[in-house]
Amino acid sequence: MALETAVRAVAPAPVKSGADLLHDPLLNKGTAFTREERISLGILGLLPPHVSTMEQQAARALKNVRARATDLEKYIDMLSLMDRNETLYYRVVTDNIEELMPIIYTPTVGKGCQLYAHIFRRSRGIFITKREKGLMERVLRNWANKDVRVIVVTDGERILGLGDLGASGMGIPVGKLALYTACGGVPPEQTLPVTLDVGTNNETLLNDPLYLGVREPRVTGAEYDELVAEFVAAVQKVFPKALIQFEDFANHNAFRLLERYRDAVSCFNDDIQGTAAVTLAGLFSACRVRGTKLSDERILFHGAGEAAIGIGDLVVTAMMAEGTSREEAMKKCWFVDSKALVESTRKDLQDHKKPYAHVHAPIGSLGEAVKALKPTALIGVSGQAQQFTPEIIGDMSRFNKRPVIFALSNPTSKAECTAEQAMTGSDGRALFASGSPFGPVVYKGKTYISGQGNNAYIFPGVGMGAVVCGAKRVTPEMFSEAARVLAGLVTQADLDTGCLYPSLTRIVECSAHIAAATVEVAYKRNLATEPKSKDVLAAVKEKMYKPVYKTYA
């Protein structure tokens, strides 16, 4: 009788109930459900009797993660938490962002992708194969949440610096979207990870009995393009307000897909544009320390793929904004690819490299290029470990009072050099940033804190800005502004420690400001579809997802 009275006293919630509720990670609160909620929602007796606070739950979850012996085990533990209770997951992540970002994304996500089939627990996201040709709209409509605003899609061909991982690359869209929510405030129910499983040329995967993807060579050519085109068209019909982020596509597809769709739908390529923006922000910060303008710098890139060319293009745009001509700005950017210096006599260059093929005698190695060109900044985006040798770091330090050395390849095992190598090799003078995190370096009694040139500083804010204003397109100008905003948030205290980026503990703040700048560009260029608020920054902060529980009663 008491139970019946209690049930009548509490209004039924318009959500799932019973075990279905506990199995929905977007709605589940676990032991934080109050007794009244447990009665009204049909879950009384399905949980231990104690009602926990979110703080108690977070402490328990974090203690369990920290108890794991390896980062991979921590990664799996965090994925399991996401599968059970997304609100708690994001609370734990946002409250411990410096500790957990390397676990839920780079560098640990790389290992998670390599072992995806072996650690698989629960499917997350949508997998599309060539067998779904003609059915993509139907497949997308199978997704439970209908108001999707951000999609991260990969074909798994170039996962981080690890290469072709096929369907196992799904860990990247999942991880990226977790950062969209934790760092940028995009509600998790508005995100969708997608893998276009077009096969793999990775023989190890093809021979792995546990591999979960299509066991065929990669689809290429016209058939590949038709699949991507159908996917993009299906998104426009099923999720017309969604932004598409292309992620970890190989060079031969990344540039042309971006070129094909950037002016047709709301999309961008984070490897090209996000990497460019976060690197440009680091260069702006380095210029503050050096007392120079960006257009005073001569930049040498080790690598000439999508990340390197993307950075070069955005740097050129930024130099032009300082009054430098396009021709002169391009001549300040040099590239060394896997074969040699990119220069005008080479006949083997891909189209995306040709604009930077300047007149110069052939040079066969990075070390020789450093000696000949005497760059002020050396940026590694090659995916090749330990390429910045002690000799190269020494030469950069002889040519420059404060050499700029960015080892941006990730995961950590692919970094061109470590923070310690950069600081000791330059006698503590290097302005260093990396793609994966390195701990503080103590050299000659001084502690140096290196910044992480992490795309997570950029893409969540740009994406959130696009969501807030309903941007019809995502433009290069948005990334230029994002870089300027991020650099502007670096304090003198940051620079004094050697760090060229704000602390990761401020990443939500950074994302809010970048989102606001993105919104302003969208309105300026007539690309917004939502009404403009009087205070754009305040409107962005108001709409950002907060990891707090809803009350069901």
Beta-bridge mates of residue 379 = 301, 406
Report the sign of the C-alpha dihedral through residues 184, 190, 196, 200, in that order: positive
- CA-wise closest residue to 286 among 487, 42, 58: 487
Phi-psi region of 498 (alpha: psi -120 to 50; beta: other; left: phi over 0): left
CA count, 13 A, side-chain hemisphere, 289: 28
C-alpha 388, offset from chain centre: 24
Alpha-carbon span 192 to 174, nearest angstrom:
8
Neighbours of 151 (CB within 10 A): 28
Which among 29, 74, 111, 176 is annotated as catalytic?
176
User: Helix axis angle, 476-488 relative to 507-524, nearest 10°?
Assistant: 140
CA distances from 416 to 110, 278, 423 (A): 17, 18, 14
User: Contact 162/175 with Cβ under 8 angstroms?
Assistant: no
Neighbours of 9 (CB within 10 A): 11
Is 105 in the active site?
yes
Beta-bridge mates of residue 443 = 446
Kindly state the tokens that stand for 125: 């996201």
280 burial type by CB count under 10 A (0-12 exposed, 13-18 middle, 19+ buried): buried
Report the sign of the C-alpha dihedral through residues 366, 368, 372, 374, in that order: positive
Please report the beta strands in 371-435, taking only residues with DSSP state E, as ranges in sequence order.
377-380, 404-407, 431-434
Which among 105, 261, 356, 501 is annotated as catalytic?
105
- CA-wise closest residue to 289 among 134, 459, 490: 490
Kindly state the tokens that stand for 347: 């006949």
Residue type, 57: Q
517 burial type by CB count under 10 A (0-12 exposed, 13-18 middle, 19+ buried): buried
Is 356 in the active site?
no
Q: How many residues does the chain have?
A: 553
Strand 441-443, strand 446-448: pairing = antiparallel
Alpha-carbon span 379 to 406, nearest angstrom:
5
| Active-site residue list | 105, 176
